[in-house]
Amino acid sequence: MTVDTILKNSAILPGNLPTHYLRVNREQWLQTAADMRKENATLLSLWGADDRDRDGGFRIFAAYLLPRVVLVVEYFLTDTVAPSYSSIASFFPVAARMQRAVHDLLGISTEAPDTRGWLRHGGWPETTFPLRKDFDGDQQYPVAAAPYSFVSVEGDGVHEIAVGPVHAGTIEPGHFRFSVVGEKVLRLEERLGYTHKGVAKLFEKTLQRDGHRLAARLSGDSAVAFSWAYCVSLESITGTVCPNRALWLRALALEQERIANHLGDLGALGNDAGFAFSLTQFSKLKEDLLRVNATAFGARYLMDYVVPGGVALDLTTEARGALLTFYDALEPSVIRMHSIFEEHAGVQDRFREAGRLEKETAEQLGAIGLVARASGIACDLRAHPCSKPYDALTPKISIQTEGDVAARAQIRFEEVLESLRLCRKILADIAAGAVHATVPVAKENQIGIGLIEGWRGPVMIALETGPDESIRRCHAHDPSWQNWPLLEYAILGNIVPDFPLINKSFNLSYSGQDG
Amino acid sequence: MWNTLARILQTGLLTESPPAPDDSASIHDTMQSDLRKILGRALCIRHVDAGSCNGCELEIVALNNPYYNIEGAGIKFVASPRHADMLLVTGPVSVNMEEALRRTYDAMPDPKWVVSVGDCGACGGVFGKSYASRGGVADVLPVNASVCGCPPSPTAILSTILNTVRPLDEKGKK
Ligand code: SF4
């Protein structure tokens, strides 16, 4: 089917971007995936739900991003004894891990040969599926040994290096298994899921009015993006109109979050290339930003700033002044640091050609967000004509073509400067008015989709309401799901000592993908 | 090169005084000499993320920025638990990290301190206890002190680290 026919046959779903909803049968599930691949759609997320209590079966969902619309495909599984659906990983390789996670949480399987657990590491029994409605979620089990077989590479002089889950620095936990010859990486296999905290199950014990707090804590460096995505899913279900001023303040907070993360990453990237000076400089600039956040938004990290219906705090004149003063100091510093990076032979030598991700590979494997833009793929939801309030701000999207560490650093430099422009424009043009609207109680059994371009890429919330302000199901998706497998490709043929640098240039979230 | 040097000169020295322990006034030098008196050397910290959202890590990392400059005052983050005096733990303890956390603790030489960071480390925070989370760090390891906050500020983290180490002369370590 062509996109036009698919969209004509679909219903409309509440969401901040135009979202269509298509119910399919077993064959159509696979056929739609094939059609979406042909249309060069991006697989945004794949998740499941246990609806046996309400409808007598399970559901599996896939969300695809087309240039203008989001398409959510739903397949209802009537078999409750051995529920299964067809893997779409041959069309969208990024689906593989999500499908494994769906199995760990719901016991719905595909025919895919890789049946290793992804989120379940032996912390709960194999026959227990935490997201099923008849599991209460609070039960604790002793950890049982669950051996995990990594793919081994055979050959003369090949040896393995195992790293993690506890890493050498102050970073999140995960396991990397390198197969190397000498210094050269032949294969990298990641094993994640260590920080799985049962967030999806927790949502079902959370009231709709509190869900943004949990969403914000899925990945602390993307708190604004996730809480905004949550709020907008609830607001679109309830038909709440978020006041214009609040929307603009959300964008201001989101751009502050983008700048903060980019500054941190640029400092660490220079440092990993042996240029400690850059860490000192950028960590100072980032600290300046966090302090301004505390003045302007009431906290260094904006965990609870975006709330259903608006934002928690209005911006005072004093705060506006503090932000403007900060921007005036930040801009020349970043420009100067950019030229220092450019003319530093050591930095350039380490950045260029390192961890290259070709456009073709990136497209085939479904890259998303910043990583995709560094490999020449033009994608940024902020540029979507329906993306509020960005439609009034006309953000310029950064694209690089080289796909190496240098390209990912360059995107960050450009985006910091562009975000600065957006922040100034917001402060200049923001309308007066309320910053909060009352959110009515949502009708039950409504699904809403929230999609926000965070600093890493699009974060998604799929919210389904229950009775009495409860959450029936809430699926939160971090773009790291898409980009983690790409890191396995980017490192190939590089040397092991370059891994920290290449890894940093991706800077993916563990907690966001582990849930 | 000139550009870099100029930038260094322009930035100048930014390091601020660390937070006063409880109420007495303190400066960077006191911190350093206190540590020397207590440990005879730098305080070595190993951090473990036991399942955090990464917010707390960002504030711990901030301690190394030039404003707090804790390395300059004699506090060092080390890569191996075998070199560490103190274990700084963030996050609720996820069941998937429980074993790695215990192993890290066991690998540290005695005597040792454990400090939990963030509301999650203190009690599980928004994540609480569930099939996937053991709750706070104290549910898994003996904890000497906790820093609350979501995430706590670098100053709060630093002041708890210092207050944990300081009473050593009176109480003895651990
Ligand atoms: S205390 Fe807050 S910032 Fe720290 S890990 Fe928990 S949720 Fe994240």
- Contact between B52 and A196 using a beta-carbon 8 Å cutoff: no
pLDDT in tens, A49-73: 999 999 999 999 999 999 989 999 9
Distance from C-alpha of A55 to C-alpha of A57, rounded to nearest angstrom: 6
| Residue B38: predicted pLDDT | 73
B19's torsion region: left (phi>0), alpha (psi -120 to 50) or beta?
A: beta
Find out whether B33 and B71 touch, Cβ atoms under 8 Å: no
Lowest-pLDDT choice from A1-5, A266-270, B13-17, B140-144: B13-17
Distance from C-alpha of A46 to C-alpha of A186, rounded to nearest angstrom: 30
pLDDT in tens, B70-119: 888 889 999 999 999 999 999 999 999 999 999 999 999 999 999 999 99
Tell which wins on pLDDT, A145 or A100: A100
- Is the pLDDT at A332 greater than 60? The verdict is yes
Say whether pTM exceeds 0.90.
yes
3-state secondary structure of A74: strand
Closest CA to B69 of B22, B122, B11: B11
3-state secondary structure of B4: helix
* Residue A155: C-alpha distances to residues A60, A80, A152, A159, A160 (Å): 41, 45, 10, 9, 11
The answer to whether residue B158 sits within a structural domain is yes
Domain span at residue B49?
Answer: 39-163
The answer to whether residue B141 sits within a structural domain is yes
Residues 162-181 of A with CB under 8 A from B: 165-166, 168-173
| Residue B24: predicted pLDDT | 41
**Which atom of ligand 1 is found nearest the CA of A217?**
7
| Residue B4: predicted pLDDT | 83
Q: Which of B47, B89, B90 is the pocket-test mutation for ligand 1 (most atoms within 8 Å of CB)?
A: B90
CATH code of the domain containing B95: 3.40.50.12280
**A15, A17, A18, A20 alpha-carbon torsion, rounded to 10°:** -50
The DSSP 8-state label assigned to residue B125 in this structure reads G
Say whether the peptide bond before residue B167 is cis (omega within 30 degrees of 0): no
The answer to whether residue B130 sits within a structural domain is yes
pLDDT in tens, A382-421: 999 999 999 999 999 999 999 999 999 999 999 999 999 9
pLDDT in tens, A271-290: 999 999 999 999 999 999 99
| Residue B52: predicted pLDDT | 97
| Residue B170: predicted pLDDT | 52
Tell which wins on pLDDT, A171 or B4: A171
* Residue A287: C-alpha distances to residues A217, A292, A337, A436, B117 (Å): 21, 9, 16, 29, 19
- Tell the CATH topology of A3-106: Beta Polymerase; domain 2 (3.30.460)
Q: In sequence order, which ranges of A434-498 are alpha helices (DSSP H)? A: 480-490
What rounded mean pLDDT belongs to chain A?
Answer: 96
The answer to whether residue B9 sits within a structural domain is no
3-state secondary structure of A500: helix
pLDDT in tens, B36-52: 777 777 899 999 999 99
Distance from C-alpha of A165 to C-alpha of A185, rounded to nearest angstrom: 19
The amino acid occupying position B134 is R
| Residue B21: predicted pLDDT | 53
Find out whether A187 and B119 touch, Cβ atoms under 8 Å: no
| Residue A429: predicted pLDDT | 97
| Residue B2: predicted pLDDT | 74
Q: How confident is the model at residue B5 (pLDDT cuts 50, 70, 90)?
A: confident
Find out whether A251 and A390 touch, Cβ atoms under 8 Å: yes
Q: Residue A246 corresponds to which tokens in the numbers above?
A: 């609040």
Neighbours of B2 (CB within 10 A): 7
Q: Residue A299 corresponds to which tokens in the numbers above?
A: 């906290």
Closest CA to B53 of B102, B101, B119, B115: B119
- Tell me what ipTM this predicted complex has: 0.95
| Residue B174: predicted pLDDT | 42
Q: How confident is the model at residue B23 (pLDDT cuts 50, 70, 90)?
A: very low
Q: Report percent pLDDT > 90 for chain A.
A: 95
Q: Which CATH superfamily is domain A199-479 in?
A: Cytochrome-c3 Hydrogenase, chain B (1.10.645.10)
Chain A residues whose CB is inside 8 A of the B115 CB are: none
Distance from C-alpha of A161 to C-alpha of A250, rounded to nearest angstrom: 44
Q: How confident is the model at residue B28 (pLDDT cuts 50, 70, 90)?
A: low
pLDDT mean over A220-229: 98
Number of residue pairs across A and B with CB atoms under 8 Å? 173
- Contact between B100 and A166 using a beta-carbon 8 Å cutoff: yes
Q: How confident is the model at residue B141 (pLDDT cuts 50, 70, 90)?
A: very high
CATH 3.30.460.80 residue ranges in chain A? 3-106
How many residues in chain A?
515
Distance from C-alpha of B133 to C-alpha of B130, rounded to nearest angstrom: 5
Closest CA to A370 of A307, A257, A457: A457
| Residue A399: predicted pLDDT | 97
Distance from C-alpha of A260 to C-alpha of A281, rounded to nearest angstrom: 13
Task: Give per-residue burial for B40-78: e unless 16+ CB within 10 Å, then b.
Answer: eebbbbbbbbbbbbbbbbbbbbbbbbbbbbbeebbbbbb
- Contact between B4 and A340 using a beta-carbon 8 Å cutoff: yes
Q: Which of B120, B129, B133, B153 is the pocket-test mutation for ligand 1 (most atoms within 8 Å of CB)?
A: B120
| Residue A234: predicted pLDDT | 98
- A66 CB burial (10 A radius; 0-12, 13-18, 19+): middle
Q: Report percent pLDDT > 70 for chain A.
A: 100
What rounded mean pLDDT belongs to chain B?
Answer: 87
Total structural domains within chain B: 1
